[in-house]
Amino acid sequence: DQQVKQNSPSLSVQEGRISILNCDYTNSMFDYFLWYKKYPAEGPTFLISISSIKDKNEDGRFTVFLNKSAKHLSLHIVPSQPGDSAVYFCAAPPVGGADGLTFGKGTHLIIQP
């Protein structure tokens, strides 16, 4: 059973516009979420995180929104740039003090010039 879901395998956005990547989760006990960006043949790079006590966290062009009642989070990138083309993973640490990350399947973001 997948606890972190990214239902869009790919997303194409024009350069300069807003990219919105979505993530849903099933475990209401998750209290922290992370977004990672991954280029081909490289390891994931941490982008931004959000704690469940917040509903928004912003870092430069990246903003993550959390809707706990809907068990949904989204990553907004504005303005989108060609270098943003990558696979984006939503992830959550397990509950109860365990370790490791559970990743969604990822969304391949393609920025069109």
Q: Note whether 104 binds other proteins by CB under 8 A.
A: yes
Q: Compare residues 12 and 14 and give the one whose CB is closer to other proteins.
A: 12
Q: Compare residues 41 and 70 and give the one whose CB is closer to other proteins.
A: 41
Work out how close the CB of 56 gets to other proteins at its nearest, in angstroms, rounded to a whole number. Answer: 17
Work out how close the CB of 18 gets to other proteins at its nearest, in angstroms, rounded to a whole number. Answer: 24
| Nearest by Cα to 84 from 38, 49, 46 | 38
Choose, by CB under 8 A, the member of 1, 69, 83, 97 that binds other proteins.
Answer: 97
- Contacts (Cβ under 8 Å, ≥6 apart) of 58: 64
For residues 39-54, one letter each, b for 16 or more C-beta atoms within 10 angstroms of the residue's C-beta and e for the rest, the string is eeeeebeebbbbeeee
Calpha distance 31→28 (Å, rounded): 8
Q: Note whether 25 binds other proteins by CB under 8 A.
A: no
Q: Note whether 100 binds other proteins by CB under 8 A.
A: yes
Q: Note whether 110 binds other proteins by CB under 8 A.
A: no
Angle at CA of residue 36, ends 20 and 68, nearest 5°? 60
Residue 67's Cβ-count burial label (10 Å; 0-12, 13-18, 19+) is exposed
Work out how close the CB of 31 gets to other proteins at its nearest, in angstroms, rounded to a whole number. Answer: 7
> What residue ranges bind other proteins (CB under 8 A)?
31-32, 34, 36, 41-46, 49, 51, 89, 93, 97-106
